[in-house]
Structure 1
Amino acid sequence: MSTLEIRDLQVSVKLPEGELKPILAGVTLTVRAGETHAIMGPNGSGKSTLAYSLAGHPKYEVTGGSVTLDGEDVLAMSVDERARAGLFLAMQYPVEVPGVSVANFLRTAKTAIDGEAPKLRTWGNELRGAMEKLQMDPAFAQRNVNEGFSGGEKKRHEIVQMELLKPKIAILDETDSGLDIDALRIVSGGIERVREAGQTGLLLITHYTRILRYVRPDFVHVFVGGRIVEEGGRELADKLEDKGYERYLAGAGPAAV
């Protein structure tokens, strides 16, 4: 059972003029394999900063605290080392990678994580099966990564990656944004399959409760001003749907990104 331990994490962003702007003001959170944690909060609360800091984005500088995965120091790892250790980030805005096909990208990633290349015949079947479950045309496997994909296709591709790579901890940064009702249901189904397998801890970042109608969280954390200000179960998400975030905003920390 893998465990991600975040303790008093403090992060600043590098401004163009070289100054550091504090964003995360001491985040403490434990995510275990088989658990689904929803991080909810208004725009500018620092949710995406948390996601990209865990993944190792160079724009963000950790100024305090610790992050460990199964006892190993995540903050001492490079970005690729974090991925090989079992961290996965589904991006809010997946990037296009011209010249690299989806099939080659995914097989290369799987090889890097497992330490050996998957057998071509078996891998082809796995890739087709994963794409069909997300209702993606298998022909997309020969297209360049995310190039010419719609917003919904990009998000489905992110979940295809997660299903095939089987990470220890998956961070889903607003995977529901930009999805219509049908796409949300399909993407949520992929997330649920990973959740039900019980081998991956999920950190689901979202503004809204609509994805939580399909992916039921074990824990809900309200994120405001760069910190967690309240925690609870699924009922907390329902309360946020009814009353919003306004009551948390008084006295919140500086605006975040």
Structure 2
Amino acid sequence: MANDTPMFVIENLHASIDDKEILRGVNLTINKGEVHALMGPNGSGKSTLAYVLAGHPSYEVTEGSILFNGEDILEKEPDERARDGIFLAFQYPTVIPGVSMANFLRMAVTNVRSARSAAANDGGAQKLAPREFRRLMREKMALLKMDDAFATRYLNEGFSGGEKKRAEILQMALLEPTMAILDETDSGLDIDALRVVSDGVNALAGPEMGILLITHYQRLLNHIKPHHVHIMMSGRIVQSGGPELAMELEAKGYEQLRAEVAAD
């Protein structure tokens, strides 16, 4: 479980796209070692929040702050945030024809390690030899029950929904972030694939990592147990609680909850 030092703090976050406000004052604190689930109906702003946290250039933050390890990251580019230790698993991963999984991952791991080493002033990261990288990659692929041949395929090209999700979690395993944002990781997964991906996330979670798990459904939370659950509606977090809140939502549905929130 987490210590008392806030690692990731979102305060009064407002964000727009094409002059349309989507986030309307989001507040959320995630400590090291915590898993937070963010639930809500379609159009509530969940994926927008994920993109804004990762630094997507299409979104404009008009108010508020995002503190990561005490530093406001709003002025940082997406690659800087990634090197700092923020990871976003996309709901719809990008297809990159002509670039193999292995080459993409080796480049990403090398860049992130070099940046972290420079930030730590430890004299520079030792270059990851091809053989050592292949060993590390196979180790993480085995965790996700991925065939070795997967590494030679072009990134997300022709991947099934389950394969795309496994590829995202493989990136997470190799990049070793301290803050992971998983945007609807359960989308498009059958029962077996859901279990494999969930087991992978659980194996990677630890006392130094915070996880924000964005989902519509309780079924993912049966496999990845959150410490806190938040409900998002109309660009704000309207209710927070423990794991029981997800069960309550499953029983009531969003419409009843929306009516209760409006009545308060």
Coarse TM-score class (shorter-chain normalised):
over 0.9
RMSD over equivalenced CA pairs, Å: 1.5
Q: Residues 48 and 12 of structure 1: is their aligned pair in 2 closer, same or farther, counting only changes over 3 Å?
A: same
> Residue 198 of structure 1: CA displacement?
2.2
Q: How does 1:117-136 map to 2 (within 5 A)?
A: 117-136=127-146
> Residue 199 of structure 1: CA displacement?
2.1
Which residue in the other structure is 2:255 paired with?
246
> Residue 110 of structure 1: CA displacement?
0.8
Is 2:187 aligned against 1:177?
A: yes
Which residue in the other structure is 1:206 paired with?
215
Which residues of structure 1 form unaligned runs of 5+?
A: 15-19
Q: Deviations over 1:74-130 (max 9, x none)?
A: 111011101001110000011111121111111111111110432322221110111
> Residue 159 of structure 1: CA displacement?
0.5
SS at match of 2:11: strand
Which residue in the other structure is 1:160 paired with?
170
Which residue in the other structure is 1:17 paired with?
none
* Contact 2:100/2:155 (8 A) holds in 1: yes
TM-score w.r.t. the length of structure 1 is: 0.92
TM-score w.r.t. the length of structure 2 is: 0.90
Which residue in the other structure is 1:140 paired with?
150
Is 2:68 aligned against 1:58?
A: no
**Amino acid across the alignment from 1:47:** K
* Contact 1:68/1:74 (8 A) holds in 2: yes
Which residue in the other structure is 2:199 paired with?
189
Find the aligned partners of 1:58 and 1:200 in 2 and give their Cα distance.
25
Which residues of structure 2 form unaligned runs of 5+?
A: 115-124
Find the aligned partners of 1:252 and 1:100 in 2 and give their Cα distance.
48
Q: How does 1:10-89 map to 2 (within 5 A)?
A: 10-14=14-18, 20-89=19-88
Find the aligned partners of 1:2 and 1:186 in 2 and give their Cα distance.
30
Find the aligned partners of 2:6 and 2:234 in 1 and give their Cα distance.
29
**Amino acid across the alignment from 1:212:** L
SS at match of 1:75: coil
Counting matched residue pairs gives 247
Runs of 4+ residues deviating >6 angstroms: none
Find the aligned partners of 1:137 and 1:193 in 2 and give their Cα distance.
19
> Residue 225 of structure 1: CA displacement?
0.7
* Contact 1:225/1:252 (8 A) holds in 2: no
Q: Deviations over 1:185-206 (max 9, x none)?
A: 00000110112x3221000000
SS at match of 1:39: strand
**Amino acid across the alignment from 1:207:** H
**Amino acid across the alignment from 1:36:** V
> Residue 237 of structure 1: CA displacement?
0.6
**Amino acid across the alignment from 1:179:** L
* Contact 2:249/2:257 (8 A) holds in 1: no
Find the aligned partners of 1:164 and 1:145 in 2 and give their Cα distance.
15
Aligned pair partner of 1:4 in 8, 11, 14: 8
